[in-house]
């Protein structure tokens, strides 16, 4: 009998930097999904699947139909697919659950796999500092803000959001690409504090865009899923191991040099 495993990935950021590059990335993600569905018990897509997403009442952003079709095909086979909202696609509402059959999560969740306890989430807004983003997140999640944005014509609303996302990325790109030390990592501090009063074996987050493997204390690790703009990294959970891996040139292998 084939062992069924758990797979987690995040930060596809489909839609950037342009349609051609995004489409190539989307096809590579689908190729990876084709591989893992053969032995997947569950699949977790942990936020920022899209670089921007907003569901108007009768309109959703164009594109990404190949990925959506693949996810629907997987859930139709009875394999659960979990989708987390990230800071770029927090305005996912009910379209993906209804049309694709995914399970939607807006906050970190605790899961137990093969006797080990995991805390899984996108990771934005967790840990100390980053007060400006935490304030903006409260605003963007406000029902009045969502109602006002929905009043904009989709052509204007999506254009404005894409311009804002690009501007923010350009400002933070150099800082985000650096790993200074674990003490500079906000999610490391979140995990360290959480582990004081909880019995998690693993913390798995996205958002940071760097594949990380950091020891929190004996028997407890924080793994960051990285991203699919350059690293193509993901986590595979088997009965024996929780491993940070990479998908390149149509094959999966252990990611040899995680930071941390």
Burial state string for 155-178 with b = 16 or more CB within 10 A and e = fewer than 16: eebbeebeeebeeeeeeeeeeeee
State residue 2's pLDDT score: 66
| CA–CA distances in Å: residue 174 to residues 12, 83, 85, 102, 207 | 19, 28, 24, 34, 15
The residues spanned by each domain of the chain are 5-254
CA distance 90 to 192: 26
* CA neighbor of 238 nearest in space, from 135, 113, 122: 113
Longest dimension (CA), the chain: 53
pLDDT tens for the 260 residues of the chain, in order: 567 999 999 999 999 989 999 999 999 999 999 999 999 999 999 999 999 888 888 888 888 999 999 999 999 999 999 999 998 888 899 999 999 999 999 999 999 999 999 999 999 988 887 767 666 667 667 788 778 777 788 778 777 767 666 655 555 555 667 888 899 899 999 999 999 999 999 999 999 999 999 999 999 999 999 999 999 999 999 999 999 999 998 999 999 888 87
Angle between helices 131-141 and 143-150 (to 10 degrees): 70
State residue 241's pLDDT score: 96
State residue 158's pLDDT score: 75
* CA neighbor of 49 nearest in space, from 74, 66, 34: 66
CA distance 26 to 51: 12
The architecture of the domain spanning 5-254 is 4-Layer Sandwich (3.60)
């Amino acid at each position: 009998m084939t062992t069924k495993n758990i797979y987690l990935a995040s930060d596809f950021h489909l839609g950037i930097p342009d349609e051609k590059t995004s489409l190539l990335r989307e096809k590579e993600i689908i190729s990876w999904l084709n591989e893992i569905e053969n032995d997947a018990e569950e699949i977790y897509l942990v936020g920022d699947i899209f670089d921007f997403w907003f569901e108007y009442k009768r309109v959703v952003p164009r594109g990404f139909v190949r990925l959506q079709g693949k996810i629907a095909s997987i859930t139709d086979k009875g394999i659960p697919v979990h989708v987390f909202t990230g800071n770029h696609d927090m305005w996912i509402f009910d379209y993906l659950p209804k049309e694709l059959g995914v399970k939607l999560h807006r906050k970190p969740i605790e899961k137990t796999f093969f006797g080990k306890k995991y805390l899984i989430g996108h990771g934005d807004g967790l840990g100390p500092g980053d007060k400006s983003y935490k304030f903006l997140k409260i605003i963007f999640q406000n029902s009045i803000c969502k109602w006002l944005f929905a009043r904009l014509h989709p052509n204007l609303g999506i254009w404005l959001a894409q311009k804002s996302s690009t501007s923010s990325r350009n400002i933070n790109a150099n800082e985000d690409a650096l790993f200074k030390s674990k003490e500079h990592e906000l999610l490391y501090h979140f995990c360290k504090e959480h582990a004081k009063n909880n019995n998690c074996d693993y913390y798995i987050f996205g958002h940071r865009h760097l594949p990380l493997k950091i020891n929190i204390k004996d028997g407890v690790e924080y793994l960051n899923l990285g991203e699919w703009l350059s690293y193509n990294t993901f986590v595979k959970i088997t009965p024996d191991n929780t491993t940070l891996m990479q998908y390149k040139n149509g094959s999966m292998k252990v990611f040899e040099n995680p930071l941390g």
